[in-house]
Chains A and B, each alone.
Chain A
């Protein structure tokens, strides 16, 4: 099974900061990777699919990059509503979530 290693597991940041979250796959997964945002008590929400495609309605401050084994989610200027937990998900071979990154207020 493909393992997804996400880092960091948590981070503290201020409004306006640039935030970067990474995900590494245990084997190559082409660009079969998505990023999801989850807030407490809610289901995950799609932000990015196919590694770099922005889901309709998602603010352009979110971007994704990478291919193969290494992927990045970037929030260019953190907003108050962005404090949440972020997960990567590979769908190259079955489905595997990363461990999550909790973005907290500094």
Chain B
């Protein structure tokens, strides 16, 4: 068990460019979550997948954001036409959903995005 990994760890881009982040969950975890955390704040939910199905999206996830989990394993989060307000830490978490109740989410180290 190597934990949740995210790449890249840091990304600096210019306003208007597209960026893509990758998240590799703990193996055999069927749920994967994306959160955004701005400096000094708690994380905010963006979206989550169960296997390859995207089950919920937050209103924070504008049309410029798209997330995929094509084979039910790793996931990508793409931001098109980045804006300075997109600067944040993007966190990925995974969990194993086995039935009723709430499973525990394990977080990755995050990708810090800076939009110049």
Q: Say whether A associates with B.
A: no
